[in-house]
Amino acid sequence: MNFPRLHSLKEIAAFLNIEFIGSPDFQIKGLNEIHVVEEGDIVFVDHPKYYDKALLSKASVVLINKKVDCPKGKALLISEDPFNDFNKLTKHFVPFLSSSTSISTTSIIGLNTIIQPNVFIGNNVKIGDNCVIHSNVSIYDGSIIGNNVIIHAGSVLGADAFYYKKRPEGYDKLISGGGILIEDNVDIGALCTIDRGVTGLTTIKNGTKIDNQVQIGHDTVIGERCLIAAQTGVAGCVIIEDEVTIWGQVGTNSGITIGKGAIILGQTGVTKSIAGNKTYFGTPIEESRKKLKEIAEIKRLIKDKKE
């Protein structure tokens, strides 16, 4: 997530009222989570387990809860609560804007696009040409939708990420400041939910088709020409490469990669990254032939024991 302009390390530290290590004029262009961070960004870390990962990442500035040696070419922001200060930055640079109309006057809707009754389109949404948006769809602020996209009734695009930090008094929410990008020729079924990125974009690429009642988590990237069947739940930060087929009631862990051309049979739990061009089944996930042989062998052993 980029700021509207460059900000100095001193400016950001003053806004947060915290100490910094580095040149006061050190330039910062934005903030991002660790998995999408780029040079010029701020990343936050609040657990010693992840210090090295953050300090050695592409981030130029690390918002951290302990004074440590600052890597060459980087800067540090020393915070008692990096999670909370990261939220302060998100809320400042991406504030919530209320809407007073069903279709915001700041939205851009392309030629020959059909918007059915009772659709909500938020601020600064961009929708391409020849799309059909069916009734009771909600499209949150900043969403980008390409050409020839169909979105069926009741789907919600751009809701917040499911991302919380456990505190003694309860759960503290990480504020979502990212968005969603739906490329051309995508079909989205009824009652689907696609969460926006925390700082980046949840992306569905060209030609992918999604069935009814599918959940796509924050910052996930779904490749081109994928098929995803009903009641599938894809967690956050998942990479699904091109031409993957996922059948019904599949669930995934977060942060995994599903390789190009993989086929995942129904009711599978994708607990780890998997290679492409193979068929998978079961929980924990295995290649389908192996898993089905295991099930058959267990049945045979049970039968033999009974006899």
Predicted local distance difference test score (pLDDT) of residue 302: 81
Q: Is position 7 annotated as part of the catalytic site?
A: no
Q: What is the mean pLDDT of the chain?
A: 96
Convert the pLDDT of each residue in 128-164 to its tens digit: 999 999 999 999 999 999 999 999 999 999 999 999 9
Query: Across residues 113-126, what is the average pLDDT?
Result: 98
In angstroms, what CA-CA distances link 28 with 5, 44, 60, 75, 242?
A: 9, 14, 8, 10, 34
* Terminal Cα distance for the chain, rounded: 64
Convert the pLDDT of each residue in 17-71 to its tens digit: 999 999 999 999 999 999 899 999 999 999 999 999 999 999 999 999 999 999 9
Predicted local distance difference test score (pLDDT) of residue 237: 96
Angle (CA) 87-91-95 rounded to 5° is 160
Structural domains in the chain? 2-93 (3.40.1390.10), 108-290 (2.160.10.10)
The catalytic position among 7, 134, 152, 218 is 218
For residues 234-270, one letter each, b for 16 or more C-beta atoms within 10 angstroms of the residue's C-beta and e for the rest, the string is bbbbbbbbbbbebbbebbbbeebbbbbebbbbeebeb
